[in-house]
Amino acid sequence: MNILSSELFQKQLEEILTTFAKEDLKATQDFKMYLDTIILNMPSKVKKFKPSIFFDDENIRDIEHQGFNIPFLVAPEKDTFVILGIVKK
């Protein structure tokens, strides 16, 4: 199972982490570590996540994490997940 992240997700996450780090570095590290854990466990918990509120497609689901939605595409034929972005709720 492959987990890929889009350039948009990487850019948005970097901006979020930079902003958070100015306020509380430890909280930023905790946020990122927990997010990484969620993403790594995503393949085994894909059914747990609701269909995305941003897309009308059953193959796109949302991870909700500390006030953010993270839509991701499930592509079973390619055995791949693609993280599309991260937006504040």
Length of the chain in terms of residues written: 89
Q: Convert the pLDDT of each residue in 58-71 to its tens digit.
A: 999 999 999 999 99
For residues 50 and 60, the answer to whether their CB atoms sit within 8 Å is no
Domain 2-88 has CATH 2.70.98.60: no
User: Per-domain residue ranges for the chain?
Assistant: 2-88
Task: For strands 60-65 and 80-83, give the pairing.
Answer: unpaired
Name the β-bridge partners of 81.
3, 74
Q: Convert the pLDDT of each residue in 28-84 to its tens digit.
A: 999 999 999 999 999 899 889 999 999 999 999 999 999 999 999 999 888 899 999
For residues 87 and 69, the answer to whether their CB atoms sit within 8 Å is yes
